[in-house]
Structure 1
Amino acid sequence: MAQSISSDDESPLNKTIPRKTLIFLISTLNASFQPDYEFSCCTSQDFSRETNLELVKNAVDSRFISVMGDYYRSVSPQLWSVIDEEINIKESEIFSYHPDGTSDPFSESGIIWSFNFFFHNKKLRRILFLTCRADCKMASNDEDNEEDEPLEFNNYLTFEGVMD
């Protein structure tokens, strides 16, 4: 089973994902990455339920801060406010996706780290998918192999998603 960032001592019953929810999560992945990737082979073991919102926020914030530093610190409250406005975080279940590392956008060459969180609000019948990956520019330019070429840094925080 995928490792949750929440408490390690959760009972297996708390980690069980209902079949209907699993279908929604997989459908969200497919809609987000089609036609390049297909996730129908995913199982509940690729996902975990996150029970601690603060740990999820910390995981997201620490990744973004490591890349964008003070710029992210200034937009972090806005990010979490927009997420809350769209999905009502306190009434949502949070899931994370932990890919198998073989056939998905998170296991391509040069990927340094990634995160994938789903905020599922049953009452609103809505899923918000928050995903990000950091890739090494040098790994994607292996054939060029010009050592003197400076690495580019994009200081813009962009968000993609599907909203109903």
Structure 2
Amino acid sequence: AKTIPRKPLIYLISTLNATFQPDYEFSSCTSQDFSRETNFELVKSEVDSRFLSSIGDYYRSLSSQLWSIIDDEINIKASEIFSYRPDGTSDPFSESGIIWSLNFFFYNRKLRRILFLTCRADCKTSTNDDNDNEHEGLDQNNYLTFEGVMD
């Protein structure tokens, strides 16, 4: 994995802290917790796939608007894209009942702006017990929440 340069790394960590404090703190993150995404189409495909699996037809009608808004705010072609793939120990993406999460940063150096796209799907049947089978046989009707933030 390539090392993220110091300045962008500080911005990425600061964005996580600003988004999730006071509940979570990310100062112990390192460059290895992030990846530089070199292919926007793969990022778009992952986001579209996750959203389609969770909210189906509703996302079909929303997809082009979402990407248009993101592009208007950050200029995707002029941005570096990073992903945050947490280790699953102490972050908002490892809580009980989380089915999936995604975290992408669009960093436009020229605009001096970061757009953070984060979303997670929670299981509506989830409880805080340690039932290993709680996600078996789920379909899109079992998703309780669809949380997302664009900062």
Q: Same fold (TM over 0.5)?
A: yes
Whole-angstrom CA distance in 1 between matches of 2:31 and 2:79: 18
TM-score by length of 1: 0.79
Query: How many matched pairs?
Result: 140
Offset at residue 160 of structure 1 (A): 2.8
> For the residues of structure 1 that align with 2:65 and 2:147, how far apart are their CA atoms?
13
Report whether the alignment pairs 1:161 with 2:133.
no
Q: Is contact 1:113–1:135 with CA below 8 Å preserved after alignment?
A: yes
Larger Rg: 1
| CA deviation vs aligned residue, 1:6-45 (integer Å, no higher than 9, x gap) | xxxxxxxxx3311000000000000000100000000000
* Alpha-carbon separation, structure 2, partners of 1:130 and 1:76: 14
Residue 159 of structure 1, CA deviation: 4.6
CA contact (8 A) 1:32 1:161 kept: no
Q: Which amino acid aligns with 1:32?
A: T
Tell me the equivalent position of 1:30: 17
**Which amino acid in structure 2 is aligned with residue 96 of structure 1?**
S
Query: Unpaired runs of 5+ in structure 1?
Result: 2-14, 143-149
- Give the Cα–Cα distance (whole angstroms) in 2 for the partners of residues 152 and 52 of structure 1: 29
Change (3 A) 1:152 1:129: closer
Residue 32 of structure 2 corresponds to 45
Q: What is the CA-CA distance between 1:153 and the residue it aligns to? A: 4.8
Work out the percentage of aligned pairs sharing the same amino acid.
Answer: 76
For normalisation by structure 2, the TM-score amounts to 0.86
Let me know the Cα RMSD of the aligned residues: 1.9
Q: Structure 2: which 5+ runs fail to align?
A: 130-140
Any idea what the Cα deviations from partners look like across 1:52-87, whole Å, max 9, x if unmatched? 000000000000000111110111000000000000
| 2:122 pairs with 1:124 | no
Q: CA deviation at 1:158?
A: 6.6
The DSSP-based 3-state class of the residue aligned with 1:160 is strand
Moved runs in structure 1, 4+ residues, more than 2 A? 150-154, 157-162
Of 72, 92, 101, the match for 1:85: 72
The answer to whether 1:74 aligns with 2:61 is yes
